[in-house]
Amino acid sequence: MPVFYGTEVASPLMLGTAQYPSPAILAAAFRASGAGIATVSLRREAGGGQDFLRLIEGLGVPILPNTAGCHSAREAITTAQMARELLGTDWIKLEVIGHTDLLSPDVFQLVEAARELTAQGFRVFPYCTEDLSVCDRLLAAGCEVLMPWGAPIGSGLGLANPHGLRALRAAFPDVPLVVDAGIGLPSHAAQAMEMGYDAVLLNTAVAKAGDPVAMARAMAGAIESGRAACAADPIEPRDMATPSTPVIGKAFLA
């Protein structure tokens, strides 16, 4: 199972807590998913008050607050400080948004915020791109986990740049990597795990599904299947056919 900042979590599935039809469906989806971490947007969920916090704490998994909606390093740092005070955790999923439509990371502000939060004792989980130079800078800033996007948040497009994600996995074989954002189908989640990623973080694909509980269960199965496939050392793709039946011993008719 994945280990983040010295903490082993029970499942490679990290599940968000926003946009569910009701608190009861949120709780049921979490139970069905077996998710190992619950992500919480401080800004989005603060309006739920103590009832929401009790619901999240009752899930029985580590909480990963995030800085969703922040557009500058200073804004993200302040939000992270508030999250630590409210939720009592040094973990923070760091989001600094650079493009309003795509919700893509502002990588310059992201690195700045990561460096400052690490200096303040936070355990930073940065939402980033698959760019190797950006990831290098995040690691130099003190991050011990990287969370490259699969596709824009909430898009459901899956892994838009599988080559880049494979290159990132190969470049940092010992760094915990999490595909974050863009997952729409269980097959997308399985693909990420087949590449050797340590975990998948998703929200919208479950929360906005017609049946969130059934989709949560499907995602859990896909992630476990992809993880098992990676461990089984799958065959490499080939350009040409390879016969599964050997020619030796085959009868030849004149």
pLDDT tens string 187-205: 999 999 999 999 999 999 9
User: What type of residue sits at position 236?
Assistant: E
Q: What is the largest CA-CA distance in the chain?
A: 84
- Rounded to whole angstroms, how far apart are CA atoms 33 and 212? 10
- 208 catalytically annotated: no
What residue numbers does the annotated binding site for 1-deoxy-D-xylulose 5-phosphate cover? 154, 181-182, 203-204
Task: Using the structure block, give the residue that is written with the tokens 């199972």.
Answer: 1
pLDDT at residue 52, rounded to an integer:
82
Q: Across residues 137-165, what is the average pLDDT?
A: 96
Tell me if 98 sits within 8 A of 143, measured CB to CB. Answer: no
Q: What is the pLDDT of residue 121?
A: 97
Q: Tell me the C-alpha distance between 247 and 55, whole Å.
A: 62
Q: Label residue 156 left, alpha or beta by phi (over 0 means left) and psi (-120 to 50 means alpha).
A: left
Query: Residue 46: its pLDDT value, please?
Result: 52
What is the rounded CA–CA span in Å between residue 149 and residue 248? 48
Beta strands in 91-176 (DSSP E): 91-94, 97-99, 104-105, 123-128, 147-148
pLDDT of residue 244: 77
**Average pLDDT of the segment spanning 174-196:** 96
pTM: 0.89
Instruction: Answer whether residue 42 shows pLDDT above 90.
Output: no
User: What are the two backbone dihedrals, phi and then psi, of residue 160, each rounded to the nearest 5 degrees?
Assistant: -70, -30
* Structural domains of the chain ordered from first start: 3-232 (3.20.20.70)
Residue 41 has pLDDT above 90, yes or no: no
**What residues are designated binding site?**
154, 181-182, 203-204
For residue 168, give both structure tokens: 């990132």
Q: How many CB atoms lie within 10 A of CB 95?
A: 27
Q: In the structure, what pLDDT confidence band is assigned to residue 48 with cuts at 50, 70 and 90?
A: low
> Band of the pLDDT at 141, cuts 50, 70, 90?
very high
Better-predicted residue by pLDDT, 212 or 242: 212
Mark 140-179 as b/e (b = at least 16 C-beta within 10 Å): ebebbbbbbbbbbbbbbebbeeeeebeebbeeeeebbbbb
In the prediction, which pLDDT does 134 show? Answer: 96
* Catalytic choice (84, 93, 188, 227): 93
